[in-house]
Amino acid sequence: MAAVKRNLRQRVARRVAGDLVARIDELEAEVQENRNLNLRVAELVDLVQELLIPVASQDRERIDAALAKFQRSL
């Protein structure tokens, strides 16, 4: 009886460990997905910050010049 219990405990422990490893992998991937947002947010904020004012002017030449200047600065 004791051997059966021990065997059962070991099988449960193995399964729990396996589940935990899988969950850690998943969590690591999720953390990295979140970190990846930083660069995208920074790029978007930079673009908006640099181009919003020329675009708001509705002056075609000013917008074209701002786009060209922005591209050169990348």
Partner 1 sequence: MSAAAPKVDAVRVDDRGIWFRTGDGGDDVVDVCFDGRRVWSFWLQRDSVPGDGGRLAGWPSALVRFLDGSTRLSLVAHVSGATLYDEEVRLGTGEGRIAVVSPEGKPLGLDKSNRLSQTFDSRTPEQVAPLLDSIAQVLDAISDAGVEAFLAYGTLLGAVRQGGLIGHDSDADLGYVSGHTHPVDVMLESFRVQRHLGELGFDTYRYSGIAFRVDVIEGDGFRRGLDVFGGFIAEPVGDRAPVLYLMGEIGAPFEREWIYPLTTATLEGRTFPVPANPEKLLEATYGSGWRVPDPAYHFETPRTTVRRLNGWFRGIRVLRSEWERRLSQHRGKPAPDRGSALAELVVAREGVPAQVVDLGAGRAGDALWFARQGASATALDFVPRAAEAARQAAVSEGHDLTVREVNLLSLRSVLAEGARLAHSAGPRVVLARHVVDATTPAGRAGAWRLCEMALRDGGQLYLEFWAGDGRRLHEGQLLAAVPTAQVVAELEARGAVIVHREEQQVERVPDTPEGSTGRTVARLVAQWQR
Q: Which residues of the chain form contacts with partner 1 (CB under 8 A)?
A: 28, 31-32, 34-36, 38-47, 49, 51, 63-64, 67-68, 70-74
- For the bound state, the minimum distance from the C-beta of residue 38 to partner 1, rounded and expressed in Å, comes to 4
Q: Locate 21 and state its tokens.
A: 């490893």
Between CA 6 and CA 12, with CA 7 as vertex, the angle to 5 degrees is 95
To partner 1, the closest distance from the beta carbon of 13 in angstroms equals: 26
Q: Give the Cα separation of 31 and 47 in Å (integer).
A: 25
Select 4 or 34, whichever has its Cβ closest to partner 1.
34
